[in-house]
Amino acid sequence: MADTPRDWIDGSAVRLDRQDPYLRLQSITIYVRNLDRSLDFYVNQLGFQLVFDARSQEFAGRRFITVAPPDGTANLTLVAPERDSEQYKLIGRSTQVTFVTEHVLAKFREWSARGVRFLLTPRLKRLKYPVHVQASSSTEQSSGAGEHAPIWGGVFARFKDLDGNSFSLVSFDEVTHAVEAQRRAIAEKLETERRAAQELDIAKQVQARLFPQTLPRLKTLEYAGICRQAKQVGGDYYDFLDLGSERLGFVIGDISGKGIAAALLMANLQANLRSQCAIAVDQPQRLLRAVNQLFCENTTDGAFATLFFAEYNDATRHLRYANCGHLAALLLRSDNSLERLESTATVLGVFKKWDCAITAIQISAGDIFALYTDGITESFNDAGEEFGEERLAAALCRHRALSSSDLLTAVVDEVRQFSPREQQDDITLIVAKST
């Protein structure tokens, strides 16, 4: 039931271009003796909807109920006037209101079974007009006497409500055909949407398989990663690459754009990295140059990706990394001091002639290494504040005693609590703890 007249507005009829002022038929007044009895008739016998109920209060000095047929495009306002009023004398009249349906006979049977009184049972009517046939010669013309073409055809019936107010019930061939065409169009639209949703779900499942399915074991490092996408599919990417010789590659990236387009680029980047990772141990710069070249060749102009690539030596606890335009990784030392691993190169996919610098650091027991995307730091609260790097570092410090997987969960939970609204960007995080 609508609570205010605001809810009576039919949104589908509102023009967005404001070319014409909004205008529609609001309601037709029907005078009745008892609002409760009439409400039961129109809702339970005719199947109308209750739009507005003002029985418990007065609007402009009158109490009324507004009901509408199932399509909701027009309303009937039922008013119970005082017995000594002029309006009371109008009860039981012909309302001149006509309801249109695609199947009068079906409605007649349905409503008759519910006790609705029909004054006129369904009758077929067709209106025709004479056809004049133009002859082949301009001087010869047939009057076409006796020949007619239909203007329209329809079925008519008439019924009364409990107070004797009468209404017409009609169906026209054109309306039936239009309704059926609209029904087919809606069915086709729903089927298209169903297929699109199914294909998107398949894409989600495929993309989920692109993320690491197994974690190579390390002696000196415990690690975990997660990606919570804002939509079915997204452009965030993380990976763990087994480089052999007791070395593991950590990768996190953020593809420009969102949705299917970003997901396709993410898959392209992942395939390039995994196909080229054999050269990472000896020549990480060569690996990244090759990945950039392939990314440029396989994507459209304007597409790019930020990327953080790190190679960890399990035997020496040595970490080499290249930050390609990505957010600074955080290295939380065992004494809670913080180091930021800044960019060493620009983004991938923009310049075909591209190179990067490799930086090396030493990881010590008790250190925590974190890679993330902007879905973490750029999550906003209701006050418009970002979660930010400082809060991320504080969360890592606060939960550092947890295992890497539990630490991951704790940080993401803090982000979601900080920004409880609908997620706007993919949230991706890798956490590694040196043991």
> What is the count of structural domains for the chain?
3
The predicted pLDDT at position 147 comes to 53
Residue 288 and residue 233 share a domain: yes
The predicted pLDDT at position 136 comes to 42
Residue 40 and residue 6 share a domain: yes
> Hey, what are 100's tokens?
């249109």
What does the alpha-carbon distance between residue 315 and residue 431 come to, in Å, rounded to a whole number?
Answer: 19
What is the SS3 assignment for 279?
helix
Residue 286 and residue 221 share a domain: yes
Q: Does residue 322 form part of some domain?
A: yes
Q: Does residue 28 form part of some domain?
A: yes
Residue 299 and residue 231 share a domain: yes
Closest C-alpha among 304, 314, 311 to residue 284:
311
Query: Mind listing the pLDDT tens digit for each residue in 222-245?
Result: 999 998 877 766 778 899 998 888
Q: Does residue 138 form part of some domain?
A: no
Whether the model clears a pTM of 0.75, i.e. scores above it, the answer is no
| Mean pLDDT confidence for 281-303 | 82
Containing structural domain, residue 224: 214-434
Residue 317 and residue 415 share a domain: yes
pLDDT at residue 2 tops 50: no
Yes or no: say if 72 and 78 are a contact pair by the CB < 8 Å rule. no
From residue 234, give the alpha-carbon distance in Å to each of 96, 254, 275.
58, 9, 22
Query: Mind listing the pLDDT tens digit for each residue in 69-123?
Result: 988 888 999 999 989 999 999 999 999 999 988 888 999 999 999 999 999 889 8
Residue 109 and residue 219 share a domain: no
Domain boundary among 91, 113, 139: 91
**Which one of 47-56, 122-131, 296-305 scores highest in mean pLDDT?**
47-56
Q: Does residue 135 form part of some domain?
A: no
Residue 406 and residue 342 share a domain: yes
Yes or no: say if 68 and 48 are a contact pair by the CB < 8 Å rule. yes
Residue 371 and residue 252 share a domain: yes
Residues 6+ apart with CB under 8 A from 36: 55
Query: Mind listing the pLDDT tens digit for each residue in 294-351?
Result: 888 877 777 888 999 999 999 999 999 999 999 999 999 999 999 999 999 999 888 8
CATH number reported for the structural domain that contains residue 47 in this entry: 3.30.1900
| Mean pLDDT confidence for 28-37 | 94
Residue 87 and residue 10 share a domain: yes
| Mean pLDDT confidence for 396-418 | 94
> Hey, what are 187's tokens?
């069915």
